[in-house]
Amino acid sequence: MLVLLFSLFFTFFTFFQTFTIYGGDGGDLATATFVGGFAHPPGYPLYSFLGYLFSFIPFGTQAWKIGFLSSIPSALTAVGIFAIVYMLTSSKISAFISSATISVTYVFWLYAIVPEVFAINSLITVLYILISLAWYKKQEIKYVYFIALLTGVAFAHHHMIIFLYPSLLYIVLKKINAVKKLKITHYIKSFFIFFLVALSYLWTVYAAYTVKPIIWNNPVNIKNLIFLITRAQYGTFLSSTHFINSITSRLFQFVALGEFYLTDFTLIGIILAVLGLFYLYKKNHHYFYFLLIGFICTGPLFFFYGSYILFTNFNIGIFERFLLMSYVFIAIFLGCGISFVNGYLEKIYRIVIKESSKRVLYSKITISAFLIIPILIFYINVSKLYPLKHDATAENFGRDILYSVDDRAILLVQGDTPVFNSLYIYHTERENYPHIKIINLNKLVAGDFDSHIKKYYPEVIYHYSKKQETFIKRFISENYNVFPIYSVRPFETYIKDAEWVPYGLVFRLYMRKDDPNLDSVIAQNIKLWKHYQNPLSGSLGAYRNLMLSNVLDYYEAASIRLGDVLLKKKDYKNALSYYKKAYEYANDKQNAIYLIASTYIDMKECVKAKETIEKAHTYKSIGSDEDLYIEAQFFLYKFCFNDEKKASELKKKIDAIEEKKKKSLQELIK
């Protein structure tokens, strides 16, 4: 039965498995496994090693090959949920519906088909629950060893497992007498099992010593290895660098959680999950508290602690992927809830239906009706996820970045999406970029790139210094006359005469004496844009998946930059076309649409400007909507309609807002 179920779920996920990288960390994971290195901290050594082995599959793309590290664990997770619910309810249909439901929820399904590490987290959670419940029933030593093994796997994968420990502690306390009977040899063997699995971190040491193209924190010594394992560059006790340390933000996490749970499991599913908690409480208090503690710790408590920024699609995408462990618990509760409802209805059937055969039939029909839940959720999500299978948006973004630079260029990359996407294309299509030197700026400044440059780019002049200003200034100065220098983002060079000139998705560094004229800059930008992909021509044109849609932010920003350059030439028509392009790409529409309105004002097309400003005011943005609206109206009436009276009234409003801000700031300082 379980083998059949695994085959069913594995076939389902494999059918949708993507042939391309998606977004977020996928490019880093795919590239690291392709070159035999390891991914960003904590290094994911087990994933990186297994991914490297999967890379030898003789067909398919690299992204598709390591996608099996998502689809296989996800299929096993679904089977594990079936086993848990069946253990708790003795109902195969309830167990199947719960496993089918989680399999088609948007977040679980997404991370089952793209290259990422979070499907393994889900599997660890399910195995942890199964082993803990098995140990609770029979305090056999083999389960202790299994927990040690699982802890080792988690240590070599993702540290979020620590949020499962409180529920384990609850189970241990309930069987404390069995724990007291454990011998010192049991503890030694358990530690040995944990240590053996944790030794997978030797993969990172090997990769660092052999200077693989993708390594992090250069763990060639104990200090650097600990730095990697503890994720020290992000903050060891922080879940992400994208967080806000305020009580308001922490409480808002609950709102976001509720929205995700409700959207993915539907209202009916959540009601059933709540009823499932009642079912568990009635059946076995200890099961109830064990699972409830697990859910609270991996769900509400984790996100309260994480306090994620939830302002942009990219930030919400970071939030989204950590939901999976709590989804496992909700799916279990949902299955129990179905059994609860079915049991209640069976009692009614016994009263109103005399024939036992009819009662059985009605009971089966009733419980089977709950299949509508996964069917409905599948219908909602399939159109969002199927287009990802062959979607090349992220990869084309990497190609567009690399196309933007000269053949012999030094390309300095920053930011997860540009770094991971461009490096994936650079390494998997290396023959197309034989002379480009692509360098992660953050690693360069941190001093993690010394051996890398010596091995792969010996022609680059490099003298590392811990003093950032000295190092960057010298690096730029010594290489400027040898190689064209580009960057995805402009940064401080500490050189007085240096400036960054926008070229499509990147910037090129020039000294003022070498500055190109405006016409040549415009011509080069237009040439690049003719070659670039339309990022809305793929899956993003139908649905903006959170992580993938971060690509649009870069195309939007580049469109605005070219529009700004065209404005300097008073080429309003073409500037307007690029601002409109930016508006199409924008996830947050306000910035682009106000630029469109401003251009209409410059063109003296006052009616269009007014209509655009009113349209802009309908969008909700991160910033102060009212401030922008009033300021835009001021420019409209002063410089387009030439209505000094109205402009004067608006100016007073602007001054009042500024004064209010000033007072608020002073009070805050006090």
Over the stretch 112-133, which tens digit does the pLDDT of each residue have?
Answer: 999 999 999 999 999 999 999 9
Residue 667 clears pLDDT 70, i.e. is over it: no
Query: Per-residue pLDDT averaged across 239-246, rounded?
Result: 57
- Indicate the Cα dihedral angle 319, 322, 326, 332, nearest 10°: 120
Q: Name, in order, each residue with C-beta under 8 angstroms of 487's C-beta and a sequence gap of 6 or more.
A: 411, 412, 413, 414, 441, 500, 506, 507, 509
Residue position matching structure tokens 């802009």: 616
Residue 459 clears pLDDT 80, i.e. is over it: yes
Instruction: Extract the tokens encoding 660.
Output: 């209010």
Q: pLDDT tens across 386-406, in order? A: 999 999 999 999 999 999 999
Q: Which of 430, 414, 531 is nearest to 472 (CA)?
A: 414
pLDDT confidence bin for 357, thresholds 50/70/90? confident
Query: Per-residue pLDDT averaged across 592-603, rounded?
Result: 92
List Cα–Cα distances, 155 to 98, 132, 198, 232, 301, in angstroms. 28, 18, 6, 15, 21
pLDDT the model gives residue 243: 53
Q: What is the mean pLDDT of the chain?
A: 91
Least confident of 324-338, 446-460, 550-564, 640-654: 640-654
pLDDT the model gives residue 347: 76
List Cα–Cα distances, 537 to 21, 393, 552, 578, 584, in angstroms. 16, 8, 12, 17, 12
Q: Which domains occur in the chain, in start order?
A: 2-17+67-182+238-387 (no CATH), 393-531 (no CATH), 549-669 (1.25.40.10)
pLDDT the model gives residue 530: 96
The Cα 236–Cα 244 span in angstroms is 16
pLDDT the model gives residue 43: 93
- Please state the pTM of the whole predicted model: 0.92
CB atoms within 10 A of CB 453: 18
- Indicate the Cα dihedral angle 13, 75, 288, 87, nearest 10°: 130
Least confident of 229-238, 515-524, 565-574: 229-238
Query: Per-residue pLDDT averaged across 63-82, rounded?
Result: 98
Query: Per-residue pLDDT averaged across 478-490, rounded?
Result: 96
CB atoms within 10 A of CB 371: 14
- With a pLDDT cut of 90, the percent of the chain lying above it is 76
Residue 624 clears pLDDT 70, i.e. is over it: no
**424 CA to centre of own chain:** 17
Residue 240 clears pLDDT 70, i.e. is over it: no
Q: pLDDT tens across 411-435, in order? A: 999 999 999 999 999 999 999 999 9
**What are phi and psi for residue 440, nearest 5 degrees?**
-75, 110
Query: Per-residue pLDDT averaged across 146-172, rounded?
Result: 92
pLDDT confidence bin for 620, thresholds 50/70/90? low
Maximum separation of any 2 CA atoms in the chain, in Å: 97
Q: pLDDT tens across 170-227, in order? A: 998 988 888 888 889 999 999 999 999 999 999 999 999 999 999 999 999 999 999 9
pLDDT confidence bin for 246, thresholds 50/70/90? confident
The Cα 157–Cα 304 span in angstroms is 23
Least confident of 41-50, 261-270, 336-345: 336-345
- DSSP codes joined into one string, 180-209: HT--HHHHHHHHHHHHHHHGGGHHHHHHHH
Q: pLDDT tens across 81-111, in order? A: 999 999 999 999 999 999 999 999 999 999 9
Residue 18 clears pLDDT 80, i.e. is over it: yes
Q: Beta-strand (E) ranges in 85-219?
A: none
What DSSP state is assigned to residue 515?
P
Task: Point out which residues pair with 501 in neighbouring strands.
Answer: 508
Burial 634-666 (b: 16+ CB within 10 A, else e): bbbbbebbeeeeebeebbeeeeeeeeeeeeeee
Q: Which of 191, 26, 36 is nearest to 115 (CA)?
A: 26
- With a pLDDT cut of 70, the percent of the chain lying above it is 96
**What are phi and psi for residue 141, nearest 5 degrees?**
-65, -25
More confident: 311 or 537:
537
pLDDT the model gives residue 237: 45
